[in-house]
Amino acid sequence: MLVSNVVHHVILVFIIVLLIMVARRLKVAYPIILVLGGLVLGFFRLMPSIQIDPELILLIFMPPLLYEAAWYTSWKDLWRWRRVISSFAFLIVILTATVVAGVSTWVIPGFTLALGFVLGGIVSPPDAVSATTIMKYVKVPRTISSIVEGESLMNDAASLIIFSFAKTAVMTGAFVWQEAAWSFLLAIVMGIGIGLVVGLAYYAVHRYLPTGPEIDVVLTLTAPYVMYIIAEACHGSGVLAVVSGGLFLSAHSQHMFSYRSRLQGASVWSALVFLLNGLVFMLIGLELPVIISSLGTSSIGEAIKYGVIITVVLIVARLLSTFGTSIFTVFISRYITTADNRPGWKGPLIIGWSGMRGVVSLAAALSIPVYMDNGQFFPQRSLILFITFTVILLTLVVQGLTLPALIRWVKLEDRDHMLPHADQEKLIQDELLEKSLLFLDKHFKREVATNRSLSQLHEDLINKRSIAMHNRNGDGDYEQYRHIYLKMLEHQRAVLHELNRHPRFDYEVITKYRALVDIEEEILRMKYDPVVEM
């Protein structure tokens, strides 16, 4: 049985990788393809259903996904758009959850207000993975992607707190608004505080103890789980603990890690998040047939109707909220300084239409317990799960497939006054070369004159500056230089392969130099290949 489960999971990973390659070939966001692929596998019973303990679903997926997102989020962007992000992450999430609670209580027979807030807490937060993946295929101003990414870091906390309180109200039958409001604020403060304290402890371990690259990577894998578990145990927000701790450690990573730890850590985390995101979106499709079979007294037609109604409510509520935020920004900019005092209608429209649901909603829905403390079934659990899956599916497919066309149609100009990435790269390269030469001339001029290796380094820097200048002036030499340089590195690999056959050379030494060639190619490509702008 164990071997069979392992085989099925390995096959599932291969299917996920294959579908993501198909998505890249079609230039379609991979969450959409994975969900549709999961649906096909589930409906035709090509893969057995995957059962995950509801108590563990949030713990398994949420901490690492949030931590990785926080790690690569810009502090500058978060601070610049703090008001917009805060309003979307807290006020609009609370408003959306309230609207969903009211509509679901009114439309769905047998739905109490507490159940409505359970559903509202689940479906209120948009998923950044879906939106940012789609935006990679269409050029969109950095402002939009920064707001969407920043919002997704914070809105999960508000939605999961609402979900937690509402779930408790359903299970206990008691709910006091004053206590809930106080607990909400306490959860936020406790979550942020615990995240920073745990982050500080990890910083001290990385900075002052002899860890090494392998230990550094393992510690980073444990950090989000430690932050999340401690915060939840202290009745704080585990989500905000992971986000605040991740942002803190990311800001101090230069002083914590060696270059080797950073390289290895980036590779490990990239693969881990890739796999987790793939599994979650595939689960969405795989689990829907299971949910349909457990609907019980609710007919499939009624369940679909409720799912469509809630989806429409969410889309309309988000669009109204984004336009309302735009209008309020124009008004309040008369009295305070805002990041953008004339947001217009194009940006809010794109942000409003970027409200696809995904990972967080799925994890929260699956975490609903099957039984309450008194041993009875959790009321309407299957229907809530079905509505959640319907919302995720419709927003991913409908909004996800139409978002690129919408972005192209509105032709939103970038008013951020930030240099294009290509120009930024040129300036950074020039600055690094000039300051490096000045540093050597100022502090080590005599050593450069007498040390052959240092003299060669100085000459190499001058040559690199000359190459960069030729490239700026459009002399056409660089493309040939880059092409031949890459061919030379490939030839070096071939030489190492031949040397590896010789008995005098140890495989470990060959592997070391092969890695050096790979790093040299990576440096060449990262330094001179343009960054793809969103």
**Is residue 349 within 8 Å of residue 412, measured between CB atoms?**
no
Q: What are the backbone angles phi and psi of residue 377, rounded to the nearest 5°?
A: -65, 145
Among 135, 507, 198, 523, CA closest to 354: 135
The tokens for 130 are: 């879906």
Domain count, the chain: 2
Residue 339's CB is within 10 A of a number of other CB atoms, namely 17
- What is residue 447's predicted lDDT score, i.e. its pLDDT? 86
Is 155 within 8 Å of 126 (Cβ atoms)?
A: yes
Q: What is the model's pLDDT at position 158?
A: 78
Q: What is the distance between the alpha carbons of residues 217 and 261, in angstroms, rounded to a whole number?
A: 7
534 occurs within a structural domain: no
CA distance linking residue 156 with residue 88, whole number of Å:
11
Could you tell me if 314 and 463 lie in one domain? no
pLDDT tens column, 499-515: 888 888 887 888 888 88
In terms of domains, do 279 and 347 share one? Answer: yes
Which position has the token pair 């796999």? Answer: 275
My answer on whether 506 and 458 are in the same domain is: yes
Is this prediction's pTM over 0.85? no
Residue 388, phi then psi, degrees to nearest 5? -60, -45
Distance CA 160, CA 154 (A): 11
| pLDDT tens digits along 177-216 | 666 677 778 888 899 999 999 999 999 999 899 888 899 9
Q: Which residue range(s) make up the domain with 357?
A: 2-410
Nearest to 30 by CA among 307, 411, 358: 358
Sign of CA dihedral 237, 240, 244, 247: positive
Domain identity same for 82 and 58: yes
Whether 375 and 425 map to the same domain: the answer is no
Domain boundary among 388, 410, 432: 410
236 belongs to a structural domain: yes
Q: Answer yes or no: is 533 within a domain.
A: no
Q: What is the pLDDT of residue 533?
A: 47
Farthest-apart Cα atoms in the chain, separation:
88
CB 163, CB 156: distance < 8 Å: no
Per residue, the 3-state secondary structure of 295-316, as one string, reads CCCCCHHHHHHHHHHHHHHHHH
Q: What angle do CA 154, 322, 131 make, to 5 degrees?
A: 60
Examine the fold and report which residue of 387, 410, 433 is the final residue of a domain before the chain moves on: 410
> Is 474 within a domain?
yes
The predicted pLDDT at position 3 comes to: 66
Name the DSSP letter for residue 376: P
Verify that 404 and 432 share a domain, yes or no.
no
Same domain, 393 and 435: no
User: Are 285 and 366 members of one domain?
Assistant: yes
Ordered per-residue pLDDT tens for the chain, 534 residues: 566 667 777 888 889 899 989 988 888 878 888 888 888 887 777 776 666 665 677 788 888 988 888 888 777 777 777 777 777 778 888 899 999 999 999 999 888 888 999 999 999 988 766 666 666 666 777 777 778 877 877 777 778 788 888 887 887 766 666 666 777 788 888 999 999 999 999 999 998 998 888 999 999 999 999 999 999 899 888 888 998 999 899 888 888 888 788 888 888 998 898 888 888 788 777 777 777 777 766 678 888 999 999 999 999 999 998 888 878 776 666 666 665 667 777 888 888 888 888 877 877 888 888 777 677 788 888 889 889 989 988 998 888 888 888 888 887 776 655 566 666 777 777 778 888 888 888 888 888 888 888 888 888 888 877 776 766 655 556 677 778 888 888 998 888 888 888 888 887 888 888 888 888 888 777 766 655 444
Query: Which CATH number do you get for residue 230?
Result: 1.20.1530.20
Residue after which a domain boundary falls, among 380, 410, 440: 410
Kindly report the three-state secondary structure assignment for every residue of 168-206.
HHHHHCCCCHHHHHHHHHHHHHHHHHHHHHHHHHHHHHH
